[in-house]
Amino acid sequence: MGNLRTKDLSKIGYHDNQLRSLVIGIAAKNFKHHSNQELLNLLVNIKNHPEAYLDNELTNRIAEKIIGKTVGPAFKAYELRDEPVFCKTYGGKGIEASAKRQMELANHLPVSVQGALMPDAHMGFGLPIGGVLATDNAVIPYAVGMDIGCRMALTITDETDGFLNRYDYQIKQALKNHTHFGMEGGLDTRQEHGILDNSLFNEMSFLRPLRSKAVRQLGTSGNGNHFVEFGEIELLPGNTLGLPAKKYTALLSHSGSRGLGSAIARHYTQIAMNTCKLPRQAQQLAWLDLDTEAGQEYWLTMTLAGDYAHACHERIHANLLKALGLKALHTVENHHNFAWKDKLANGREVIVHRKGATPAHAGELGIIPGSMTTPAYLVAGKGREDALYSASHGAGRAMSRQAAKDSMTVSAMKKLLSNANVTLIGGTVEENPTAYKDIEIVIAAQRDLVDVQGKFYPRIVRMNKD
């Protein structure tokens, strides 16, 4: 987590000094995994719905302070199920108990049909990261997450891996000139894309003021674990891409829908919490019925945010390939914070939420990254229904951001990187490779879910610097 300042808190309506110092203390202790933006999103929700956060051990003190120790009117609540729905866990030995408990709560929702927990799982907001939940005609904004449409994109180019050594300097310059990270600002040259002409920006009054930021942020990446990197990909014999099994220069990016997605997530999480009354410990999992106007609106705006995230990756890849004179042989991409309409084997229609999980229907291609010094895996799904046609979205964090910071010095991280032959531009010790689970163990835990098609090794990595 970055450093939360009192002026950030004032901006979102936290004006009381005692409350602000309480928030800063709790944030430093309990929310080390989270970026400032995620934290501010959460604090806005706590301010608007303190009663929903009273039972959460991480947020109850802030909520109590806001309410002034008195609990608001009792909600007419949906009851939770007596028994949880079926939920298969993969690689359970490596998953913290808090993430399992979080998934368990989601499996008790009256709208839940089936759950699945991926081997990279760790605790998040609403659903755990690595949690997959199928529901009946209902969408849970907090189970999609704050960074709607956060996704991976991989371009395999027409150059062999030798290009990386020969053009090392040019690649670094291109990454410096054609990527932008963090919350403020954008690229030097204005980016064009059809997504900006989407009629929803005019039709929905709440989206209108967001368009100018979407224009500015197009083709940029956020902070935290978002990255753009060049490396070599080794494709395996018989890969489903139909490309010769050898090493290629490839470009890999990870980021989401920027300010647009975060505003949509906040807006509809609030509507869901106002209209769907649940027992307090489950209030963050409030849903929107897809037959309601709000449910339909969220679905449209979620889809827009996903398309916008896709457009950002398209611009990043197009700009970098052009700058380096590279040609794309094949592009693979996948969302991992999203909700989809899908069908179970028995024909039942469900809404599948993947919070940090990769879609893995039979033959569906996806990318599962490790860390900046370990390989990313190009995989094809096997379409396992027990896993709700999903796989992990990465190695998953083994360490909070604060622990990662405390356990690694900048010079030790530089050594790790140079031993792995990786150059880092930007980046922080919070994202150091030891903060992540072992990608080999995580991949081994999901052999039933995916077939490996190739391995990508990062070489020149660009990330946000604090």
159 shares its domain with 50? no
pLDDT > 90: what percent of the chain? 80
Q: Residue 157 sits in a domain of what CATH number?
A: 3.90.1860.10
59 shares its domain with 155? no
Q: Where are the alpha helices (DSSP H) in 113-257?
A: 141-144, 162-166, 168-178, 200-203, 211-217
Is a pLDDT exceeding 70 seen at residue 205? yes
**Is 104 inside a domain boundary?**
no
pLDDT band at 2 (very low <50, low <70, confident <90, very high): low
pLDDT digits (tens, 9 = 90+) for 161-191: 999 999 999 999 999 999 999 988 899 999 9
421 shares its domain with 296? yes
**Quick check: helix, strand or coil at residue 349?**
strand
Question: So what's the pLDDT on residue 466?
Answer: 72
163 shares its domain with 59? no
**Is 82 inside a domain boundary?**
no
Greater model confidence, 144 or 52: 144
The string of DSSP letters for 72-118 reads -SPP-PPPPPSSPPPEEESSGGGS-HHHHHHHHHHTTSTTEEEEEEE
Question: So what's the pLDDT on residue 445?
Answer: 98
Last residue of a domain, one of 46, 67, 88: 67
Last residue of a domain, one of 45, 67, 89: 67
62 shares its domain with 166? no
Domain membership of residue 55 as a residue range? 6-67
Tokens of 218: 């197009």
pLDDT digits (tens, 9 = 90+) for 341-365: 999 999 999 999 999 999 999 999 9
Q: What is the pTM of this model?
A: 0.86
Report the distance separating Cα 26 and Cα 31, nearest Å: 7
pLDDT digits (tens, 9 = 90+) for 360-418: 999 999 999 999 999 999 999 999 999 999 999 999 999 989 999 999 999 999 999 99
Question: So what's the pLDDT on residue 1?
Answer: 45
**Is 458 inside a domain boundary?**
yes
Question: So what's the pLDDT on residue 77?
Answer: 62
For residues 214 and 196, the answer to whether their CB atoms sit within 8 Å is yes
283 shares its domain with 416? yes
46 shares its domain with 179? no
**Is 307 inside a domain boundary?**
yes
**Is 342 inside a domain boundary?**
yes
Q: Averaged over 197-204, what is the pLDDT?
A: 94
**Is 78 inside a domain boundary?**
no
Number of H helices, E strands in the chain: 15, 17
**Is 84 inside a domain boundary?**
no
Tokens of 371: 């860390």
184 shares its domain with 293? yes
337 shares its domain with 452? yes
Is a pLDDT exceeding 80 seen at residue 136? yes
pLDDT band at 15 (very low <50, low <70, confident <90, very high): confident
The DSSP code for 204 is: -
pLDDT band at 268 (very low <50, low <70, confident <90, very high): very high
Report the distance separating Cα 40 and Cα 7, nearest Å: 12
Report the distance separating Cα 416 and Cα 439, nearest Å: 16
Report the distance separating Cα 51 and Cα 72, nearest Å: 7
Last residue of a domain, one of 40, 67, 94: 67
pLDDT digits (tens, 9 = 90+) for 51-109: 888 888 788 889 888 887 544 433 446 899 999 999 999 999 999 999 999 999 999 99
Report the distance separating Cα 240 and Cα 273, nearest Å: 44
Total domains in the fold of the chain: 2
For residues 272 and 141, the answer to whether their CB atoms sit within 8 Å is yes
Burial class (CB in 10 A: 0-12, 13-18, 19+), 415: exposed
pLDDT digits (tens, 9 = 90+) for 269-297: 999 999 999 998 999 999 999 988 899 99
Give the sign of the dihedral formed by CA 223, CA 224, CA 226, CA 227.
positive
Maximum mean pLDDT: which of 33-37, 65-69, 265-269: 265-269
236 shares its domain with 328? yes
Write down the mean pLDDT value for the chain. Answer: 93
**Is 437 inside a domain boundary?**
yes
